[in-house]
Amino acid sequence: MDSEEVDKASSPKILVVEDNQDNREMVVKVLKFNGYQVVEAVDGEEAIEKARTEYPDLILLDIFLPKMDGYEATRRLKGDTSLRNIPIIALTAHAMKGSMEEALAAGCDGYIPKPIDVRELPKQIQHFLKPRP
Ligand code: MN
């Protein structure tokens, strides 16, 4: 369990947007353990700020967020020519019928159903990360 040895400069940077602290900490822990760089945001507005300043390789975006929900954040990110190439993966609750479809309609590149399977998460992220030049 030594993620310190991972080459931080070359590992992909993931922006984790999640207002629920327990969920966020769990996802961040799994990502760091798997060698990813992680940036965090707790609401939709902060998600957009961090996307602009950190330019992550991928965004994991909770849908139900304070200030601005994940659908609106996605529309704004995908409407920004400098950010639209960053893959956005919505974190959608199973119970919420239609949320996956709405996430894709808003411009998300994919979704991961909640509750998150921590063993599957790294594979799911790998699938959506663009190959690096
Ligand atoms: Mn939420």
| DSSP string computed for 81-130 | TTTTTS-EEEEEETTSTTHHHHHHHHT-SEEEEESP-TTTHHHHHHHHSP
| CB contact at 8 A, 65 and 47 | yes
CA of 6 to the centre of ligand 1 (A): 30
CA of 7 to the centre of ligand 1 (A): 31
CA of 87 to the centre of ligand 1 (A): 19
CA of 18 to the centre of ligand 1 (A): 6
Cα separation, 113 vs 64, whole angstroms: 13
**Residue bearing the bigger pLDDT, 2 or 99:** 99
| CB contact at 8 A, 90 and 63 | yes
Q: Where are the domains of the chain?
A: 3-128
CA of 66 to the centre of ligand 1 (A): 8
Looking at residue 7, its pLDDT comes to 54
CA of 73 to the centre of ligand 1 (A): 13
| Structure confidence by residue, pLDDT tens digits, 11-20 | 999 999 999 9
CA of 46 to the centre of ligand 1 (A): 14
Cα separation, 21 vs 17, whole angstroms: 10
Q: Considering only the top CATH level, what class is 3-128?
A: alpha beta
Residue 32's contacts (CB-CB under 8 Å, 6 or more residues apart) are 3, 38
**Nearest by Cα to 15 from 64, 74, 93:** 74
CA of 2 to the centre of ligand 1 (A): 30
pLDDT greater than 90 at residue 88: yes
Looking at residue 104, its pLDDT comes to 92
